[in-house]
Homo-oligomer: A and B are copies of this chain.
Amino acid sequence: MTTPPSKRTEVRRLAERGTYDRALIEAVLDEALICHVGFVHDGSPVVIPTIHARSGETLYLHGSPAGRFLRTIAGGHSEICVTVTLLDALVVAKAAFHNSMNYRSVMVFGTPRWVVDPIEKVAALEAITEHVLPGRWADSRPVTDKEIRGTLVVALPIDEASAKVRATGPNDDVADADLPIWAGVLPVTAGVGAPLQDASTPSGVKVPSYLERYLRPGG
């Protein structure tokens, strides 16, 4: 399944890197721990990092009612751009001009909808928790009505979306083939380390297995 490009998501530069493949878009969104959300505030662009979660064809974001981001888009008529980037490698070419990076990135454009239905809201909060900490929701102290009211959730349909991927070695000029300069890639590794227990953990409580063997989707 592919998502047809809109004028905005049409990947203009280096078109061979662009794709509308749905499975790729979803895999990148699912693997990334954070996203960067762009919105327009008083005519100026603002980009904030935040946590997202995908549930089917919907991307959920959450925040505090006092936060600038959710206050700005409160009218329900504000477009946003959600960009997710996974950095995979530093590409080292013989020519400085051809240095690059391998990455997978996704952009999702749209006007988010406020989530007011408490059932959808709790499901979104569960999706966000499980996105970051798979297995944690059922093991946590459940959210209270007050906490649900104190959290704003918005939903963005993932239909105006595109992915970009670079996943090859250096692309030096043919004329530089014989230069005695090393070329290759340095893999960029992103991982989650061993759990560090907080003093607030009562004695006798063990580290849950889903945290001890933490693994990102695709990781």
- Tell me the A residues contacting B by CB distance below 8 Å: 8, 12-13, 33-34, 36-41, 43-49, 51, 64, 66-68, 79-83, 85, 87, 90, 92-97, 99, 101, 103, 105, 107, 109, 125-126, 129, 132-133, 136-137, 139-144, 147, 151, 169-170, 172, 176-202, 204-208, 211, 214
Query: In this complex, what residue of B is CB-closest to A49?
Result: B85
* Interface contact A13-B143, CB-CB below 8 Å: no
* Interface contact B81-A45, CB-CB below 8 Å: yes
Asked whether A189 and B193 contact (CB < 8 A) given A12-B67, A64-B13, A85-B49, the answer is yes
Q: Bound state CA distance, A99 and B186, in angstroms?
A: 33
* Interface contact B181-A66, CB-CB below 8 Å: no
Query: In this complex, what residue of B is CB-closest to A45?
Result: B38
* Interface contact B176-A141, CB-CB below 8 Å: yes
* Interface contact B189-A192, CB-CB below 8 Å: yes
The interface residues of chain B lying within 8 Å CB-to-CB of A151 are 97
What 10 A-B pairs come out closest when comparing CB atoms?
A38-B47, A38-B45, A96-B140, A36-B36, A187-B193, A38-B38, A49-B85, A47-B83, A95-B141, A97-B147
What are 27 pairs between A and B in contact, CB < 8 Å? Answer: A13-B66, A38-B38, A44-B79, A45-B45, A45-B79, A45-B81, A46-B107, A47-B81, A47-B82, A49-B105, A92-B136, A92-B195, A95-B141, A96-B140, A97-B144, A139-B181, A141-B176, A177-B200, A182-B211, A184-B196, A185-B195, A186-B193, A186-B195, A186-B196, A188-B192, A189-B192, A190-B191
> A12: which of B68, B137, B185 is its contact (CB, 8 Å)?
B68
* Interface contact A141-B45, CB-CB below 8 Å: no
The interface residues of chain B lying within 8 Å CB-to-CB of A201 are 181-184
